[in-house]
Amino acid sequence: MVQDILEAIMAAEGSEQPGRELAGLAGLPVPESYRGVVVRAEETRMFEGLAARDKDPRTSLHVQEVPTPELGPGEALIAVMASAINYNTVWTSIFEPVSTFRFLRRYGRLSALTARHDLPYHVVGSDAAGVVLRTGPGVTKWSPGDEVVAHCLSVELEDAPGHDDTMLDPQQRIWGFETNFGGLAELAVVKANQLMPKPRHLSWEEAASPGLVNSTAYRQLVSHHGANMKQGDVVLIWGASGGLGGYATQMALNGGAIPVCVVSSPDKAELCRRMGAELVIDRAAEGFRFWSDEHTQDPDEWRRFGERIRELTGGEDPDIVFEHPGRETFGASVYVAKRGGTIVTCASTSGFQHQYDNRYLWMHLKRIVGSHFANYHEAWQANRLVALGQIHPTVSRTYPLEQTGQAAYEVHRNLHQGKVGVRCLAPTDGLGVRDAELRSRHEDAINRFRGR
Ligand SMILES: NC(=O)c1ccc[n+]([C@@H]2O[C@H](COP(=O)([O-])OP(=O)(O)OC[C@H]3O[C@@H](n4cnc5c(N)ncnc54)[C@H](OP(=O)(O)O)[C@@H]3O)[C@@H](O)[C@H]2O)c1
């Protein structure tokens, strides 16, 4: 049955009127089950005693058949052509810092509708590009056959705070991480207010890959909720060729700022240069060690790092530090930010107990801003930049759904560049391009940014 859906979507390929072909999906029955990438509740203790680095997503992520859930009000069922690996799938797969079954249990207690999410398996994944198959009661803006990407903000909006900024909804969750029925699957259930138009010049795997990280980088760097970047700002970007960093680098360049890109290999430095960045620091080649031992930071290394930044910028310090590595780099980030500058953080990959010298914060009037994903409007703006061809996908490699474990392993071990894509229903890369003219205008950049 999923095969019938795929055939209908493939019929749109090369058709003069793909929209008409896809509208036919409304007439196909909804499959009773589908294949999804899951972690299993009975395996949450499988890595006990191992260091985080040694916990292997290839043994905890399984592809299995799961029943298709009933659609609730305001929801949509989508056929997922492609998805991508986000670091949150790495966290889920190694059951760190907590098992995501805790999130599902808590969500399940909210209502009869959310109880559907509390299952002994968790279908993961927070990105998707695909086609709407069905919509639930009350959905008016989307219909079967619409080609879409999904952002990953799930909100209930029954409380007042979320009506100012949906990220402040007390029931805010990340779809496919804190909810079930995520995007690393043949079908996925989303709230209709997660949907956005698929950029027409991109293939399925390209369209799926910016999603979570592009929206996060947009709020963190560009939005007034984040660092509110302006023209001429010097922006220090950690992991500048990685998931978040690849988009932060593009947004800095696109917005007239000056990115200083930090990476850990010549290949990654080369990818930043291909994106147009001129100021790049290879932290591995230059041997920065901000901690002399597990408990002690080395301020001399902060100074050496700050001097290196000034050497590249002609004497300027960063107006903004785009933070996510966390414990390992945070002391250096606070130190090198400009007087009055902003350190904006959305994560703690290397450890969430940060240490920094507060004198450099208060005496130099710096501020630390916490940022998390993006509201619908920010995600929409970020997707619009992709659809306009101002921001390009950075997908470097793709895997079929069956090899999602390998894809997550590469992200866990930092063996990747940019984004790692996953073909869910799409049998090959390169399908789904609907605007060949727009694509040809951006083809060079798309290829340049794809990494290796
Ligand atoms: N709050 C949110 O909404 C949100 C959204 C997206 C992601 N995140 C989190 O943000 C983090 C990064 O996500 P991502 O998708 O960008 O991951 P990613 O693709 O793995 O890229 C992160 C990059 O950071 C650099 N890095 C890693 N450890 C480092 C360290 N100890 N010191 C310096 N640099 C280090 C690495 O680049 P080099 O080796 O080249 O330096 C790495 O490629 C993850 O923890 C993720 O869970 C949070």
Tell me the CATH number at 202. Answer: 3.90.180.10
Domain identity same for 357 and 244? yes
**Which of 335, 370, 405 is at the close of a domain?**
370
Domain identity same for 188 and 242? no
Nearest-CA neighbor of 66 among 184, 196, 198? 184
Domain identity same for 173 and 77? yes
Q: Which domain holds residue 324?
A: 227-370
Say what the pTM is.
0.96
Q: For the packed helices 87-94 and 404-412, what is the interaxial angle rounded to 10 degrees?
A: 100
Nearest-CA neighbor of 153 among 190, 118, 115? 190
- 11 alpha carbon to ligand 1 midpoint, in Å? 39
Unique residue bearing structure tokens 């990115």: 259
Substitution site in 349, 350, 373 for ligand 1 pocket (most atoms within 8 Å of beta carbon): 349
Does residue 349 lie within any of the structural domains? yes
pLDDT tens track of the chain, all 452 residues? 899 999 999 999 988 889 988 999 999 999 999 999 999 999 999 999 999 999 999 999 999 999 999 999 999 999 999 999 999 999 999 999 999 999 999 999 999 999 999 999 999 999 999 999 999 999 999 999 999 999 999 999 999 999 999 999 999 999 999 999 999 999 999 999 999 999 999 999 999 999 999 999 999 999 999 999 999 999 999 999 999 999 999 999 999 999 999 999 999 999 999 999 999 999 999 999 999 999 999 999 999 999 999 999 999 999 999 999 999 999 999 999 999 999 999 999 999 999 999 999 999 999 999 999 999 999 999 999 999 999 999 999 999 999 999 999 999 999 998 899 999 999 999 999 999 999 999 999 898 887 65
Does residue 270 lie within any of the structural domains? yes
Does residue 221 lie within any of the structural domains? no
Task: Name the pairing type of β-strands 279-282 and 258-263.
Answer: parallel
How far is CA 441 from its chain centroid?
26
Domain identity same for 193 and 63? yes
Phi and psi at residue 195, to the nearest 5°? -85, 145
- CB count, 10 Å around CB of 354? 18
C-alpha–C-alpha distance, residues 58 and 79, integer Å:
25
C-alpha–C-alpha distance, residues 244 and 259, integer Å:
14
Phi and psi at residue 19, to the nearest 5°? -60, -40
For ligand 1, whether the C-beta of 239 sits within 6 Å is yes
- Total count of domains within the chain: 2
Domain identity same for 295 and 318? yes
Unique residue bearing structure tokens 């400009």: 338
Q: What angle do CA 76, 81, 85 make, to 5 degrees?
A: 95
Amino acid letter at 304? Answer: R
Q: How many CA atoms lie within 13 A of 102 on its CB side?
A: 7
Domain identity same for 171 and 96? yes
- 160 alpha carbon to ligand 1 midpoint, in Å? 33
Nearest-CA neighbor of 424 among 233, 138, 204, 229? 204
Domain identity same for 197 and 145? yes
> How long is the chain?
452
Atom of ligand 1 lying closest to residue 88 CA: 47
Q: Which two tokens stand for residue 158?
A: 């029954």
Amino acid letter at 162? Answer: G
Substitution site in 305, 324, 373 for ligand 1 pocket (most atoms within 8 Å of beta carbon): 324
Distances 88 to 175, 219, 371, 372 between C-alpha atoms, Å: 10, 18, 16, 13
For ligand 1, whether the C-beta of 217 sits within 6 Å is no
Unique residue bearing structure tokens 């995007």: 183
Under a CB-based contact definition with an 8 Å cutoff, are residues 147 and 198 in contact?
Answer: yes
What is residue 284's DSSP assignment? T
Does residue 219 lie within any of the structural domains? no
Domain identity same for 439 and 410? yes
Domain identity same for 366 and 387? no
Under a CB-based contact definition with an 8 Å cutoff, are residues 322 and 306 in contact?
Answer: no
Does residue 8 lie within any of the structural domains? yes
Q: Who's near 296: CB < 8 A, 6+ residues apart? A: none
Domain identity same for 121 and 51? yes
